Chains A and B, each alone.
Chain A
Amino acid sequence: ETGVTQTPRHLVMGMTNKKSLKCEQHLGHNAMYWYKQSAKKPLELMFVYNFKEQTENNSVPSRFSPECPNSSHLFLHLHTLQPEDSALYLCASSQYKTGDYGYTFGSGTRLTVV
């Protein structure tokens, strides 16, 4: 496997459900990110993890809960979401502070909250 892998690709959930999004990177990067992209809107940074430590939380509602057990895996736990949370959720990884700052994105999870 190569690059950044996200699962599932598509998810439909009710407002009372609990689900998790998974991201795995095979690039040896030390930073991982969650982004939200709503229809016709720019990318919104949600969370940043550097060396497994959360370094940024951009005022994201607590119904989104990230988890980074190691530098290769990142989860986004979802509970009691709202319809306006329907969006494309993108995971990315990068090599932090070593000169190669390019992001590699996963294919994303398209989430629909009903």
Chain B
Amino acid sequence: RKEVEQDPGPFNVPEGATVAFNCTYSNSASQSFFWYRQDCRKEPKLLMSVYSSGNEDGRFTAQLNRASQYISLLIRDSKLSDSATYLCVVIDNYGQNFVFGPGTRLSVLP
């Protein structure tokens, strides 16, 4: 089993839609979790951290379920500019091991 798995995608959604991405991780000792965004031919950029209590940043909501080893990202009222690949990142061993998921590609269509 891969350490971090994500929805295979791609997701093609109309503007204004709500879309959710899922990510599962295999190491129950994982400590920190992030969502990164990567635009085509660009470097990944931190989108948001994921906290146990869940956190929201504007149209973006991240949730963590430690018992199920599952992370989610919800995007509301999607914009054309949200089109990108979304990478789930799991960090364990006190920051020594960053593991990136394969990414889920989102295309928001006009």
Contacts and interface: CB of A to CB of B under 8 A. Distances in A.
Interface of A: 31, 33, 41-43, 45, 48, 50, 55-56, 88, 90, 94, 96-97, 101-108, 110
A22 to B, nearest CB: 15
A47 B15 CA distance: 40
B1 interface: no
Given A55-B96, A96-B96, A106-B43, A101 B102 contact: no
Contacts, number: 47
Identify whether the interface residues of B are mostly helix, strand, loop, or mixed.
Answer: strand
B100 interface: yes
Interface of B: 32, 34, 36, 41-46, 49, 87, 89, 91, 94-96, 98, 100-103
Identify whether the interface residues of A are mostly helix, strand, loop, or mixed.
Answer: strand
